[in-house]
Homo-oligomer: A and B are copies of this chain.
Amino acid sequence: MILVWMAALTAVLALLFAAWNAKYVLDQPRGNERMIKVAGAIQKGADAFLSRQYRTVFIFWLILTIIFYVASLYNIVPAPTPMAFTLGALLSAVAGYVGMEISVRANVRTAKAAEKGLRHALDVAFKGGSVTGMAVVGLALLGFSLMYAIYGNPVVLIGFGFGASLVSLFARVGGGIYTKGADVGADLVGKSEIGLPEDDPRNPAVIADNVGDNVGDCAGMAADLYESYVITVLAAMLLAFYTKLPIHVIELPLVIGGVAIIASILGSFVVSTDNKNRIWHALNSSLRISSVLAIVGFFLVTWYLGLLQYFPSMLLGIVVAVALAEIAGHYTNKNTVAVREIAIASKSGAGTNIIYGVANGMRATLFPIVIIVIAILGSYYSSGSVFGIAIAAMAMLSLTGIIVSIDSYGPITDNAGGIAEMSGMGKKVREITDPLDAVGNTTKAVTKGFAIGAAALAALSLFVAFANAASLTSIDILNPLVISGLFIGAMIPYVFSAIVMRAVGSAASKIVEEVRRQFKSIKGLMKGTAEPDYAKAVDITTKSAISSLAAPAVLAIGSPILVGVLLGPEALGGLLAGVIVSGLVLALMLTTSGAAWDNAKKYIEEGRFGGKGSDTHKAAVIGDTVGDPFKDTAGPGINPLIKVINMVSLLIATTIITYSLPVFLHLVAI
């Protein structure tokens, strides 16, 4: 139990570090009145979104808590499940809330700091981001350690994981629909129809667009990785518990988390530069140093605990994290062959731009899969058990703190640029915020690669835990029930993507109508003598995004229950495997295509092939529009989808082995 308390202590350390960074950010000057006003509007919009989202989550939470409470009365789930579920969800909501509140305050302070130079702006933005990063891992590890310390049994914590999943699904998908609905809507009507530049204060949807960066890229990503982190710890501990490994092995995942927190805190101190070409290098150094320190820490700990057989798994986990980030860069960074090819294809029109972009996303699935397969097999055979695979996943996820710090830096600088533009801060400030923002695109792509791989490995660990919970010693694909489940599972990510992409389209078209209405009814808006009604646009996007959440949530929660009850536990096992493998490749394809289109457009905007305004550029803009829901809604939304489906299955595992149609009909497998 001493290991658990030590893990809890490092979690407290992470929270203190987050608080220290938060205080630093809040102590910075906010700039002039105009800046404060713009930032205030973004802040209000973000709050409005979060409060409405949390209200929707509250309803689901209430229903599910009652179900868990009743189920616990009949001993279907352990008695503390409603409480664990509530805590898991609550801490995720708190992490998202805190992260976003700091993020929407760091943006204006970053813009102000840019007046003093790059080093200051980078400092404020990164410290703001690391509040989210450290809050995520701190709250996750603290909550989990304490609950485990109290009950001494990871089975009780399945509810905790499901709480994380619930919030993640809503935050990631709702945020994803919001951010791209606002973005596509603002672009369609503002840029294309009326001819306003990006971030022009006359565009009524411009604040909604900036809010979107925070709710999607910051709060959504944070909840996603919080969930992956929690369920990876959960799955690893469950596996060790089910296979009756010694106590200190069961607690090993918590130790991994603790070690990596210290490594991440140390690594975050190196982010500093004056050179605008070295920003990515500065951020990346923190990841590299954290990784190396974590590896050293893992070695010392496993050596001390006499568990060196798990060290290769941990090493592989870190390698996967770094490799996925590198590969994502290779297919999406602005100066790569892949992106240049898409830019060249744009010369013959939008059609070829799209064809090459999709093809680029498709081929970008190869190396991540190879890396993941190497990690699965390497960690399995080096450790001698599937627990090794879970340890590799945990090692990868243990870097969540530093990864989210780097990622959350993105929306802060993106907003800072927007605030500078809208409050007329002048060219000098933009020259600082623009390169900061451009690196934000790279960090986004890198984090997405990490988040997808993390979700897949986390879900894979859950999948094995599910099999243990359902007492399945094998899940045989030759069994027609299993292959049926596999077919259904492979299809679900497609249907899910269709639902959320249509939701983006619907939100965007509502924004378009509203912007057109404002330009018609508000006199002097075009000339800049009257102000648009930003709040109205924010409200419409919020309502549209939140009301679109029911369908994907029902799909994610309902499909495993339906298949489990109708086709039994083995079919459900097939479904889980199907959804993991199909979801992983589809998500990789969607996010890679989207990021590459975005950068191909930027590549042309730098003056190549006719530059801005040319036909080639117009074709690239179309690719970018298509890429928006690919990379920021459907692609990342698949992460919580596959995790939620696996969580629900784990929850119902013991029930469906007794109550399901095949059992009832005495249908036997081959």
Contacts and interface: CB of A to CB of B under 8 A. Distances in A.
Nearest to A512: B348
Interface stretch (A36-44, A140-148, A353-361, A414-422): A353-361
A66 to B, nearest CB: 31
Contacts of A358: 501, 626
Given A362-B495, A365-B494, A351 B184 contact: yes
Interface residues of A, number: 81
A439 to B, nearest CB: 26
Q: Is the interface of A mostly helix, strand, loop or mixed?
A: helix
A65 to B, nearest CB: 31
Contact of A348 (B188, B345, B472, B482): B188
Interface in A557-599: 567, 573-574, 577-578, 581-582, 584-585, 589
Contacts of A484: 373, 376-377
Most buried by B among A345, A473, A489, A502: A502
Nearest to A583: B490
A539 interface: no
B578 A480 contact: no
A363 B480 CA distance: 24
A490 B585 contact: yes
The list of the 5 closest CB pairs from A to B, nearest first, reads A351-B625, A363-B498, A362-B498, A490-B581, A474-B476
Contacts of A487: 369, 372-373, 376, 581, 584
A581 B484 CA distance: 9
Interface stretch (A46-54, A119-127, A503-511): A503-511
A114 interface: no
Nearest to A504: B355
A8 interface: no
A486 interface: yes
A380 B497 contact: no
Nearest to A344: B509
Each complex incorporates copies of this chain amounting to 2
A188 B478 contact: no
A362 B373 CA distance: 27
Contacts of A192: 349
B348 A495 contact: no
Contact of A359 (B385, B481, B501): B501
Contact of A477 (B363, B509, B574, B584): B574
A355 B622 contact: no
Nearest to A192: B349
A301 interface: no
13 contacts: A184-B352, A348-B512, A351-B621, A351-B622, A359-B501, A362-B495, A363-B494, A372-B487, A373-B484, A386-B478, A475-B477, A477-B573, A581-B582
A477 B480 contact: no
A16 interface: no
A208 B118 CA distance: 58
Given A348-B509, A363-B498, A386-B480, A491 B369 contact: yes
B497 A351 contact: no
Contact of A629 (B348, B355, B589): B355
Interface of A: 184, 188, 192, 345, 348-352, 354-356, 358-363, 365-366, 369-370, 372-373, 376-377, 380-381, 385-386, 389, 460, 464, 467, 472-478, 480-484, 486-491, 494-495, 497-499, 501-502, 504-505, 508-509, 512, 567, 573-574, 577-578, 581-582, 584-585, 589, 621-622, 625-626, 629, 667, 670
A45 B447 CA distance: 51
A488 B574 CA distance: 16
Contacts of A477: 475-477, 482, 573-574, 577
Nearest to A503: B359
B478 A475 contact: yes
A634 to B, nearest CB: 9
A359 B478 contact: no
A509 B376 CA distance: 41
A497 B626 contact: no
Contacts of A505: 345, 352, 355-356, 359
Contact of A481 (B345, B377, B622): B377
A339 to B, nearest CB: 15
Nearest to A486: B581
Given A345-B505, A490-B585, A505-B356, A495 B365 contact: yes
Given A491-B365, A494-B363, A474 B480 contact: no
Contact of A483 (B460, B585, B667): B460
Contacts of A574: 477
A359 B625 contact: no
Contacts of A381: 667
A509 to B, nearest CB: 7
A386 B497 CA distance: 33
A582 B493 CA distance: 11
Contacts of A482: 477
Most buried by B among A483, A497, A499, A504: A483
Contacts of A188: 348-349, 351-352
Contacts of A486: 577, 581
A531 B349 CA distance: 28
A350 B622 contact: yes
A239 to B, nearest CB: 11
Contacts of A372: 487
Contact of A354 (B349, B359, B589, B626): B626
